[in-house]
Structure 1
Amino acid sequence: MFDVYVNDKHDLLVVPQGSQLPVIGAFRKWRKKKARAISVSDEIKSIVQKHGHYMRKLSDLRKY
């Protein structure tokens, strides 16, 4: 299971359930989504296992 957070710019942060926010995300105001993600894509899962978190900026998606 994973905890999902969003901030005021609608950026997305995914961390393993019960983990603290990473230092790079700590300076922004993050709101925890009420529903936990039971499963995520294999790409996000591998990034979380490797780095301990996954962060996506909304502006990254708007480029495409």
Structure 2
Amino acid sequence: MFDVYVSDKHHLLVIPQGSPIPASEALRKWRKKKARMNGVSQEIRSAVQRHGYYVRKLRDFRKE
């Protein structure tokens, strides 16, 4: 299981359930999403195993 956070600058942070936010990402303001994720992509799972967390900028899906 993973905890998911979103920052005010639209960044996504995925960490193992119950883990603290990494010090390198602590300066941003994070909002925890209420739903926990059971399944994530292999890319996210391997990044969490290697680094302890996964972070990326969310894309803007609205194209006008």
Interval containing the TM-score (normalised by the shorter chain): 0.7 to 0.9
Residue 30 of structure 2 aligns with which residue? Answer: 30
Trace 1:42-61 onto structure 2 (pairs within 5 A): 42-58=42-58, 61=59
For 2:16, give the aligned amino acid.
Answer: P
How well do the aligned residues superpose, as a CA RMSD in angstroms? Answer: 1.1
Of the two, which has the highest radius of gyration?
2
TM norm structure 1: 0.88
Residue 41 of structure 1 aligns with which residue? Answer: 41
TM norm structure 2: 0.88
Equivalences, count: 60
Structure 1 runs of 4+ with >2 Å offset: none
Structure 2 residue ranges without an equivalent (≥5): none
Structure 1 residue ranges without an equivalent (≥5): none
After superposition, the C-alpha distances for 1:5-63 in whole angstroms (9 at most, x for unaligned) are 001111100000000000111001000000001110011000000000000013xx46x
Counterpart-to-counterpart distance in 1, 2:50 and 2:41: 14
